[in-house]
C-alpha cells in the first residue's frame, strides 16, 4: 500500500460543514499592540500634565479634564494590554500584566463605589489635588461614573485575559466598555452636554472617552478566536455579512444624526422636523440596506445549496467521520460503490476507513493511501478538519490495471529486444565462419560445400526473422493486403508439406498428410495460407524430438475447412496454451534458447487466419503429451473453380543493370545473376545509373530506392521519360516494403517491387517474364 502525507486542511469538507474561524495572529497582534500603545501614551501624557499643573488651568476655563487616577488607570490598562494581549503571555510578562490589571480594577472599583455609596474613600487626591468646582466633577479630582465603571470592566477583563480558563470573558468585558463610552462619545459628537457633562451620572472628559474606547476595542480583539470578534473574523457567510453590515450600521446613523442636529442649530427646521426627518431617513436607509442584504443572503444560500449538491452528485465516494469514528455523511457513490465495506450513516465506520480516520486525527495531517473494496481499488484522501475527518475516494482499478499492462508490455519489449539480439547474432556466427572457410578451403571441396550450405540456411533464417517482424508490423497497423482467389486448399497443403518434408527427414521426424478425395474450396490468399501452415509445421518441428511424428489432416466439418497439425513432442502447459498466440511468447525461456525464434510464428498464424475470417486454437494435455493446432476457415461461397499457380515463363538471357549504392549488395547480386547466365552492369548512384541505362538500353533495371543523389523514384521517372527505354522492365529493389511503398513505386513507374533480400525464385520469375 502506497501512502503520502500532507498537512491538515482547514475548512475543507462537504458542503454545509462550517469552516473554521480565520486565524490572523499577526494582524490581530498588531491591532492590539497599536490600541494598547496609544492608550498608554495618552494616559502617561495626562498623568504627567497633572504634575505640571496643566489640568488646573484647563478646569479654570470650564473644560472637563481627565482626572489623575483616570490617567493612571488608562496608562496601566494600556501597559497590561500590551503585555497580555498581542500573544499569550507567560512568566514575568504574565505576572507584570496581571499586577497592572489588578491596580486598574481596584482603582475603577473603588471610585465607582464612592459614586454608588456617596462616600469618600480618600483615593481621589492621593496622587494630585484639584480645587473644588471643576466642571462635571462631584468631588475634586474624582473621575466620573463612566470612567470608573470602564476601568473596573477593563481591569476585570485584563485579569481574565491572563488566565486561560476564564479568558473567554475578556472580549465581552471589552465590548461592555465600548458601550459605556459610546454614550459620551455621541454626546461630544452631537454637542449633547447631558451625555457627557452631568456630574453625578455622565461626567467624563473627551480624551478619557477616546482612550477607554481604544482600550475596549483592543480587549475585544485580544480575545483571539473567542467572543464577539470570532464571528467578525470568520471566513464564512456570517463573518462576511457582519463585516459588510457593521460599518454601515455604526456610521450611517451617526452621520444622519449629525446632519439633523446641525440643521436644527442653524435654524433650518425645528426639533420635531429634524427628528421626523432623521427617523424617515433611517427607515429608508435600513429598508434599502436590508433589502439588498437579503438579496445577497439569498444568492449566497442558493450557491450554498448548489455546493451542497456537489458531494452528493460526485461520482466518487465522499464521506465525513467524527472524532468517535461514526459516519456523519456518505454520498450516494460512497453508499453504492463501498457497499462491500458496509458504509452506513450513523454507524461506526468500517475498520478499513476507521483506522485511516483515527490515524489522520491522531497525527493531524492529510493521508493519501489505497483501499481495496471487493474487486475495486480506491485511492483515498483522508483529511482531518478540526475534530472530524473527510474521506475522498477515487476508483483507480482501471488505471492500476492499465499501469500493470504497461509494465508487462515494457517487460515483454525488453525481453523481446534481448531475444532479437540473440536471434540475429546466432546466424551471423556461422555465416562469418562459412565465409572464412570459403576463403581458405579448396574450391569444390567438401568443406566449401558445407560452408555454402551453412550460409544458405542461415541467410534464409535471417530473412524469415525479418519477414516475421515486417508481417507483425503490417498486421498490427492494419496495412496487410490479402490477395484472395478461389483455390483448392488441398493444393496449398500438399505443396507446403512437400516443401517441409526434407527438413523433417533431416531431423528424423515422420511427416504424415491425410486429406479427403473432394476438393476443399476456399477464397483466400494462397501465399498467406502457405505461410500459416509453414509456421505451424516449423513450430511442430522445433518441439518434436527425433523419432517423433507430425500429422497434418485436412477435412470439412460443419461447412468449414478444418486443418489440423498434431505432434507427439514436448507439449505445452495447459495454463500457457492461450498465451502462445501472443507476440513474442515462447515456451522456452532458458538462457540456452536451443530452439531459437522470436516467438512470432503463432502470433502471425492467429492474425492471418482471423484476417481470412477463420479461427485457430491449440490443445495439449501437458508437458510431454504433444500438442495439436486446429485452423478453421470458411468455405468459398458458390464453390467456384480453384485457380492453379501460374507457370513460370521460360528463362532467357537478359541484359541487366543493377543500381545500388551498397557495393557489396550490388556486386553479389551481379555475381548471382551472371551465374544464371545474364549480362550484368553495375552503377553506384542514381545519376551514373541513368547515364548507363541510356547507353546500354538494358532489358531489366534493378534499382535501389535509397540512393545518395537521385532516389530510386526519381530514377524511375527519368527513365520512363526516355522513349528508347520504354520497353525496359524497372524493378524496385529495396528495404522499404510497406504497401504504401509499393504504391509509391508503381506511381513512379516501376513495373515490380521486391523487398530486400529478394527470394531467388521471385527474382528469376521477374527476369524470365517479358516486359509489357
Contact assessment for residue 516 and residue 554, using Cβ atoms and an 8 Å cutoff = yes
Q: Which three cell numbers stand for residue 743?
A: 504504391
pLDDT (tens digit per residue) in 413-423: 776 676 666 56
Comparing 83 with 274, the larger pLDDT belongs to 83
d(CA 243, CA 599): 75
pLDDT (tens digit per residue) in 136-187: 888 888 999 999 999 999 999 999 988 878 888 899 999 999 999 999 998 8
Max mean pLDDT among 79-93, 291-305, 422-436, 692-706 falls in 692-706
Grade residue 122 by pLDDT with cuts at 50, 70 and 90.
confident
d(CA 40, CA 410): 75
d(CA 137, CA 120): 13
Comparing 124 with 87, the larger pLDDT belongs to 124
Q: Which of 93-97, 389-393, 476-480 has the lowest average pLDDT?
A: 476-480
Q: Name the phi and psi angles at 354, rounded to 5.
A: -60, -40
Q: Which three cell numbers stand for residue 33?
A: 499592540
Give the pLDDT score at 747.
93
d(CA 618, CA 88): 81
d(CA 490, CA 480): 24
Give the pLDDT score at 283.
82
d(CA 384, CA 320): 10
pLDDT (tens digit per residue) in 18-53: 444 444 556 777 888 899 999 999 999 999 888 887
DSSP 659: E
Q: Name the phi and psi angles at 514, rounded to 5.
A: -125, 125
Q: How far is CA 288 from CA 246, 283, 295, 329, 416, in A?
A: 15, 9, 11, 40, 79
d(CA 228, CA 245): 15
d(CA 318, CA 395): 12
pLDDT score of 241 more than 80: no
616 by Cβ neighbours in 10 Å (0-12 / 13-18 / 19+) ranks as: buried
Looking at every residue in the chain, the average pLDDT score rounds to: 82
**CA angle 724–726–730, rounded 5-degree value:** 120
Comparing 572 with 286, the larger pLDDT belongs to 572
**CA angle 15–21–25, rounded 5-degree value:** 150
> Comparing C-alpha atoms, which of 331, 330, 332, 352 is closest to residue 341?
352
DSSP for 67-125, written as a single string:
-HHHHHHHHHHHHHHHHHSSS---HHHHHHHHHHHHHHHHHHHHHHHHHHHT---S-TT
Task: Tell me the average pLDDT across 748-762.
Answer: 84
Contact assessment for residue 422 and residue 428, using Cβ atoms and an 8 Å cutoff = no
Q: Which three cell numbers stand for residue 604?
A: 502471425
d(CA 383, CA 6): 9
Strands 655-659 and 615-619, sheet pairing: unpaired
DSSP 344: -
Q: Name the phi and psi angles at 752, rounded to 5.
A: -150, 165
DSSP for 313-341, written as a single string:
H-SS-EEEE-TT-BEEEE-HHHHHHTGGG
| List of residues 6+ apart from 697 with CB closer than 8 A | 655, 724, 725, 728
Contact assessment for residue 148 and residue 112, using Cβ atoms and an 8 Å cutoff = yes
pLDDT (tens digit per residue) in 2-17: 454 444 444 444 433 4
Comparing 202 with 224, the larger pLDDT belongs to 202
Give the pLDDT score at 590.
38
Comparing 712 with 641, the larger pLDDT belongs to 712
Helix (H, G, I), strand (E, B) or coil at 151: helix
pTM for the whole thing?
A: 0.43
Hey, how many other C-beta atoms are within 10 angstroms of the C-beta on 246? Answer: 11
pLDDT (tens digit per residue) in 644-688: 444 444 457 889 999 998 888 888 888 888 888 899 999 999 999
pLDDT score of 635 more than 50: yes
pLDDT score of 640 more than 70: no
- Residue that the C-alpha cell 484522501 belongs to: 381
pLDDT score of 772 more than 50: no
d(CA 204, CA 76): 19
Give the pLDDT score at 76.
95
Helix (H) or strand (E) holding 405: helix 397-440
Give the pLDDT score at 408.
82
Give the pLDDT score at 478.
59
d(CA 362, CA 14): 21
Task: Tell me the average pLDDT across 71-84.
Answer: 93
Q: Name the phi and psi angles at 332, rounded to 5.
A: -60, -40
Reported in sequence order, the residue ranges of 342-435 that DSSP labels E, i.e. its strands, are 365-373, 376-385, 388-395
Give 262-267 contacts, CB < 8 A, sequence gap 24+. Answer: 265/191
Q: Which three cell numbers stand for residue 250?
A: 455604526
Q: Name the phi and psi angles at 299, rounded to 5.
A: -65, -40
Grade residue 517 by pLDDT with cuts at 50, 70 and 90.
confident
- Cα 699 from chain centre: 64
DSSP for 586-597, written as a single string:
-S--SSS-TT--
Contact assessment for residue 732 and residue 716, using Cβ atoms and an 8 Å cutoff = yes
DSSP for 278-289, written as a single string:
HHHHHHHHHHHH
Max mean pLDDT among 196-210, 322-336, 628-642 falls in 196-210
Give the pLDDT score at 423.
62
Give the pLDDT score at 749.
93
d(CA 690, CA 343): 82
pLDDT (tens digit per residue) in 323-350: 888 888 888 888 888 888 888 888 888 8
pLDDT score of 770 more than 60: no
DSSP 612: T
pLDDT score of 545 more than 60: yes
Grade residue 237 by pLDDT with cuts at 50, 70 and 90.
low
Give the 3-state DSSP-derived string for 701-749, with helices as H, strands as E and coil as C: EEECCCCCCCCHHHHHHHHHCCHHHCCCEEEEEECCCCHHHHHHHHHHC
Proportion of the chain above pLDDT 70, given as a percent: 84
pLDDT (tens digit per residue) in 559-586: 899 999 999 988 888 877 777 777 655 5
Give the pLDDT score at 15.
39
d(CA 115, CA 597): 112
pLDDT score of 542 more than 90: no
- In 153-192, which positions are buried (b, 16+ CB within 10 angstroms) versus exposed (e)? bbbbbbbbbbeeeebebbbbbbbbbbebbebbbbbbeeeb
pLDDT score of 289 more than 80: no
Amino acid at each position: 500500500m502506497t501512502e503520502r502525507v500532507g498537512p491538515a486542511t482547514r475548512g475543507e469538507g462537504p458542503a454545509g460543514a462550517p469552516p473554521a474561524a480565520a486565524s490572523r495572529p499577526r494582524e490581530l497582534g498588531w491591532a492590539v499592540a497599536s490600541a494598547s500603545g496609544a492608550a498608554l501614551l495618552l494616559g502617561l501624557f495626562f498623568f504627567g500634565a497633572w504634575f505640571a499643573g496643566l489640568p488646573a488651568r484647563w478646569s479654570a476655563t470650564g473644560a472637563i479634564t481627565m482626572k489623575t487616577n483616570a490617567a493612571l488607570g488608562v496608562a496601566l490598562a494600556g501597559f497590561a494590554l500590551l503585555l497580555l494581549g498581542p500573544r499569550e503571555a507567560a512568566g514575568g510578562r504574565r505576572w507584570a500584566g496581571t499586577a497592572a490589571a489588578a491596580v486598574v480594577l481596584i482603582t475603577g472599583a473603588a471610585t465607582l463605589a464612592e459614586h454608588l455609596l456617596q462616600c469618600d474613600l480618600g483615593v481621589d487626591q492621593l496622587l494630585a489635588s484639584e480645587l473644588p468646582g471643576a466642571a462635571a466633577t462631584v468631588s475634586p479630582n474624582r473621575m466620573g461614573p463612566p470612567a470608573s465603571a470602564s476601568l473596573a470592566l477593563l481591569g476585570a477583563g485584563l485579569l481574565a485575559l491572563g488566565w486561560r480558563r476564564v479568558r473567554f470573558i475578556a472580549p465581552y468585558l471589552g465590548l461592555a466598555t465600548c458601550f459605556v463610552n459610546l454614550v459620551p462619545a455621541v454626546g461630544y459628537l452631537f454637542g449633547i452636554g447631558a451625555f457627557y457633562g452631568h456630574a453625578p451620572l455622565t461626567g467624563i472628559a473627551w480624551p478619557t472617552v477616546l482612550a477607554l474606547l481604544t482600550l475596549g476595542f483592543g480587549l475585544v480583539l485580544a480575545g483571539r478566536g473567542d467572543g464577539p470578534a470570532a464571528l467578525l473574523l470568520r471566513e464564512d457567510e456570517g463573518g462576511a455579512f457582519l463585516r459588510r453590515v457593521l460599518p454601515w450600521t455604526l456610521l450611517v446613523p451617526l452621520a444622519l444624526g449629525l446632519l439633523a442636529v446641525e440643521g436644527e442649530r442653524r435654524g433650518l427646521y425645528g426639533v420635531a422636523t429634524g427628528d421626523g426627518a432623521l427617523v424617515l431617513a433611517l427607515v429608508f436607509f435600513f429598508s434599502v440596506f436590508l433589502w439588498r442584504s437579503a438579496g445577497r443572503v439569498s444568492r449566497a444560500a442558493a450557491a450554498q445549496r448548489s455546493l451542497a449538491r456537489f458531494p452528493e452528485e460526485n461520482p466518487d465516494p465522499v464521506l465525513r467521520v467524527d472524532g468517535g469514528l461514526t459516519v456523519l455523511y456518505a454520498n450516494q457513490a460512497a453508499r453504492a460503490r463501498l457497499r462491500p465495506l458496509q458504509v452506513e450513516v450513523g454507524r461506526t465506520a468500517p475498520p478499513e476507513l476507521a483506522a485511516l480516520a483515527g490515524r489522520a486525527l491522531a497525527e493531524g495531517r492529510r493521508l493519501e493511501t489505497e483501499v481495496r473494496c471487493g474487486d475495486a481499488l480506491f485511492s483515498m484522501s483522508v483529511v482531518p478538519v478540526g475534530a472530524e475527518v473527510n474521506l475522498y475516494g477515487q476508483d483507480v482499478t482501471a488505471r492500476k490495471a492499465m499501469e500493470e499492462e504497461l509494465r508487462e508490455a515494457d517487460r515483454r519489449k525488453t525481453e523481446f529486444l534481448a531475444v532479437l539480439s540473440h536471434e540475429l547474432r546466432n546466424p551471423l556466427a556461422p555465416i562469418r565462419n562459412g565465409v572464412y572457410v570459403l576463403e581458405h578451403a579448396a574450391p569444390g571441396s567438401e568443406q566449401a560445400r558445407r560452408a555454402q550450405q551453412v550460409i544458405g540456411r542461415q541467410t534464409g533464417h535471417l530473412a524469415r526473422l525479418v519477414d516475421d517482424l515486417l508481417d507483425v508490423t503490417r498486421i498490427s497497423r492494419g496495412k496487410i493486403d490479402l490477395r484472395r482467389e478461389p483455390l483448392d486448399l488441398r493444393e496449398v497443403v500438399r505443396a507446403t508439406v512437400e516443401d517441409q518434408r526434407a527438413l523433417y527427414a533431416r531431423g528424423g521426424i515422420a511427416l504424415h498428410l491425410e486429406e479427403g478425395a473432394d476438393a476443399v474450396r476456399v477464397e483466400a490468399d494462397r501465399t498467406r495460407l502457405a505461410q500459416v501452415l509453414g509456421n505451424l509445421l516449423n513450430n511442430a518441428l522445433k518441439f518434436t524430438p527425433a523419432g517423433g511424428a507430425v500429422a497434418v489432416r485436412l477435412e470439412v466439418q460443419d461447412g468449414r475447412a478444418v486443418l489440423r497439425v498434431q505432434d507427439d513432442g514436448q507439449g505445452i502447459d495447459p495454463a500457457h496454451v492461450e498465451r502462445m498466440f501472443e507476440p513474442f511468447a515462447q515456451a522456452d525461456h532458458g538462457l540456452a534458447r536451443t530452439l531459437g525464434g522470436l516467438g512470432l510464428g503463432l502470433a502471425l498464424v492467429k492474425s492471418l487466419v482471423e484476417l481470412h475470417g477463420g479461427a485457430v486454437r491449440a490443445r495439449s494435455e501437458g508437458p510431454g503429451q504433444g500438442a495439436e493446432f486446429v485452423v478453421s476457415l470458411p468455405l468459398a461461397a458458390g464453390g467456384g473453380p480453384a485457380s492453379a499457380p501460374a507457370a513460370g515463363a521460360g528463362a532467357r538471357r537478359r541484359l541487366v543493370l543493377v543500381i545500388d549504392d551498397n557495393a557489396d549488395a550490388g556486386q553479389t547480386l551481379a555475381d548471382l545473376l551472371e551465374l544464371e547466365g545474364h549480362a550484368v552492369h553495375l552503377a553506384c548512384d542514381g545519376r551514373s545509373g541513368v547515364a548507363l541505362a541510356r547507353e546500354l538500353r538494358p532489358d531489366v533495371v534493378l534499382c535501389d530506392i535509397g540512393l545518395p543523389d537521385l532516389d530510386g523514384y526519381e530514377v524511375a521517372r527519368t527513365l520512363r521519360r526516355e522513349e528508347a527505354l520504354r520497353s525496359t522492365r524497372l524493378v524496385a529493389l529495396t528495404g522499404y516494403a510497406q504497401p504504401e511503398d509499393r504504391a509509391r513505386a508503381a506511381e513512379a513507374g516501376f513495373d515490380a517491387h521486391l523487398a530486400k533480400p529478394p527470394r531467388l525464385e521471385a527474382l528469376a520469375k521477374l527476369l524470365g517474364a517479358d516486359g509489357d
